[in-house]
Amino acid sequence: MLYKSIAPNQKKFTACRLQLKACGFRQKARSSQLKVHRFSSHLQIMNIGFDAKRAFHNQTGLGHYSRTLIHSLAKFYPGFQYFLFNPKSSSLFQFEEENIHEILPGHFPATLFPAVWRGSWVKKDLKNLKIDLYHGLSHEIPIDIQKTNIKSVVTIHDLIHERYPEQYNPVDVKIYKKKFRYACQHADKIIAISEQTKNDILEFYKIPAEKISVTWQSCNPSFGELLPDAQKKIIRLKYELPSKFFLYVGSITERKNLLNICKAIFILRNEAGVPLVVIGDGGKYKQQVKDFIKQNDLDKKVIFLSERSSAMSSKTFQNGDDLPAIYQLATALIYPSFFEGFGIPVLEALWSRLPVITSNVSSLPEVGGDAVYYVNPQSAEEIAEGMKKICNDQQFAEDLRQKGLQQVKKFSLQNCAAAVMKVYEELFSS
């Protein structure tokens, strides 16, 4: 086992010193004045472990959720120690809080089989570190963790592979079904990130409702910071962005519905000159979208930003640091997904004071409230109508921005961290 504190200038520790330090964490924490004591009379000082694979390596929704939650818990509940179990090193994302510590596999055979370490062998390290609670942040928990004295929580983001198995590789569907069901059956508590996801867990896995808690997610607070015009100009020039553009953010899969957005662009080809900027990547469906674009002479109307060398070579694009500026430069976010477990781009856009066009299905009304323009995702005509209205009606667009600022208060970092901490509390108060 290899221990690394994420705080700057900290040294790595051997396994022996690590165990002593883990015990020392508790004594030091108990002597401090902690916000958590004001939150709960049940919850004691804990060492909390996380499956941090996505936190360090994932650039999309699962990674954003993991990083945002970990940072929020470390900030609002500073007396706890947070251990991030990472199967392999990464320089893409960093955690600088002093109460956050990275754990890497440090000895053979774990170093040779990091996936096995993450999925099972990590239990030995959890015990050595005296971890009180382990949180699987993305659908998984270690095999047989229920046989230890360590409490476990798993976050389930969606069960899309159950609803739309045809959109996945058949082998992946079998793996997902087995892992997700196992986690739901054996974790002590399940966090569903929306009512939609809770309902899917009840429907597909028949888990008792009292075991599931709905706790919404927040997003990186940088989306809520208004950036100066000079900084946004730098980003515009860096990526050669047009003066006005609609924005699409997400993987390019059939469920995300980029093709109907492009059909809406085609409908408006003679009425609006606002192009679409696409951030994301995909496979066969992406090629289908590109074929439609080529057949209908929309090459100049649809910009695949993720393919540009300026984006591919930029670490600040890859890790999302430039994304808030891109949101703030856009005219509106277009996100007419057929199905979502949550829909984090919608929340990011609302924080960014960006009007949103999204679907009236699945979890998206939970996120958007009355602050977005809803469309039937099957209808390119409705999508086009929304795009035209936001472009032509400045007062309507401003009203959406103001409603968005009210809506996002429900998803504040502190509220979301408190909701998760309440789930932890319930495990130790029963």
The C-alpha angle 380, 268, 304, rounded to 5 degrees, equals 80
| Whether residue 332 is found in the same domain as residue 418 | no
Task: Identify the pLDDT of residue 11.
Answer: 32
| Whether residue 198 is found in the same domain as residue 277 | no
| Whether residue 259 is found in the same domain as residue 163 | no
| Whether residue 157 is found in the same domain as residue 114 | yes
| Whether residue 258 is found in the same domain as residue 275 | yes
| Whether residue 180 is found in the same domain as residue 285 | no
DSSP letter, residue 270: T
| Whether residue 179 is found in the same domain as residue 237 | no
CA distances in angstroms from 25 to 6, 16, 32, 223, listed in the order given: 15, 15, 11, 33
Claim: this prediction has a pTM higher than 0.95: no
Q: How many CB atoms lie within 10 A of CB 341?
A: 20
Q: What is the Cα–Cα distance from 383 to 365, expressed in whole angstroms? A: 16
Task: Identify the pLDDT of residue 92.
Answer: 85
Which structure tokens are listed for 120? Answer: 């099972």
Domain of residue 40, CATH code: 3.40.50.2000
Looking at residues 383-388, what average pLDDT do you find? 97
| Whether residue 418 is found in the same domain as residue 271 | no
Task: Identify the pLDDT of residue 146.
Answer: 93
Instruction: Tell me the sheet residues that pair with 214.
Output: 192
Q: What is the Cα–Cα distance from 131 to 142, expressed in whole angstroms? A: 13
For residue 109, cis peptide bond before it (omega within 30 degrees of 0): yes
| Whether residue 205 is found in the same domain as residue 286 | no
128 — pLDDT class (breaks 50, 70, 90): very high
Tens-digit pLDDT profile for residues 137-181: 999 999 999 999 999 999 999 999 999 998 889 999 999 999 999
| Whether residue 75 is found in the same domain as residue 169 | yes
* Residue 134 confidence (pLDDT) above 70: yes
DSSP letter, residue 119: I
Which structure tokens are listed for 172? Answer: 């992946």
323 — pLDDT class (breaks 50, 70, 90): very high
Tens-digit pLDDT profile for residues 282-302: 999 999 999 999 999 999 999
CA distances in angstroms from 369 to 6, 144, 164, 347, 375, listed in the order given: 37, 40, 25, 11, 13
Task: Identify the pLDDT of residue 94.
Answer: 87
Q: Assign 102 to helix, strand or coil.
A: strand
| Whether residue 121 is found in the same domain as residue 206 | yes
* Residue 87 confidence (pLDDT) above 60: yes
**Domains identified in the chain, total number:** 2
Task: Identify the pLDDT of residue 271.
Answer: 82
Q: What is the Cα–Cα distance from 16 to 47, expressed in whole angstroms? A: 17
Looking at residues 324-329, what average pLDDT do you find? 98
Q: Are 223 and 68 in contact (CB under 8 A)?
A: no
Tell me the average pLDDT of the chain: 89
Task: Identify the pLDDT of residue 179.
Answer: 96
Q: What is the Cα–Cα distance from 110 to 131, expressed in whole angstroms? A: 19
Q: What would you report as the CA-atom Rg of the chain, rounded to the nearest whole angstrom?
A: 22
> What residues contact residue 132 under an 8 Å CB cut-off, 6+ apart?
46, 47, 48, 150, 151
Instruction: Tell me which of 25 and 283 has the higher pLDDT.
Output: 283
Cα dihedral: 400, 406, 408, 414 (round 10)? 170
Task: Identify the pLDDT of residue 59.
Answer: 81
* Residue 264 confidence (pLDDT) above 60: yes
Q: Which of 37-41, 109-113, 116-120, 365-369 has the lowest average pLDDT?
A: 37-41
Q: Are 364 and 358 in contact (CB under 8 A)?
A: yes
Query: Is 403 buried (19+), middle (13-18) or exposed (0-12) by CB count in 10 A?
Result: middle
* Residue 193 confidence (pLDDT) above 80: yes
Q: What is the Cα–Cα distance from 366 to 198, expressed in whole angstroms? A: 13
Short-list 253, 157, 243, CA closest to 200:
157
Q: Which of 8-12, 100-104, 254-258 has the lowest average pLDDT?
A: 8-12
| Whether residue 189 is found in the same domain as residue 228 | no
Q: Which domain holds residue 99?
A: 2-218+413-429
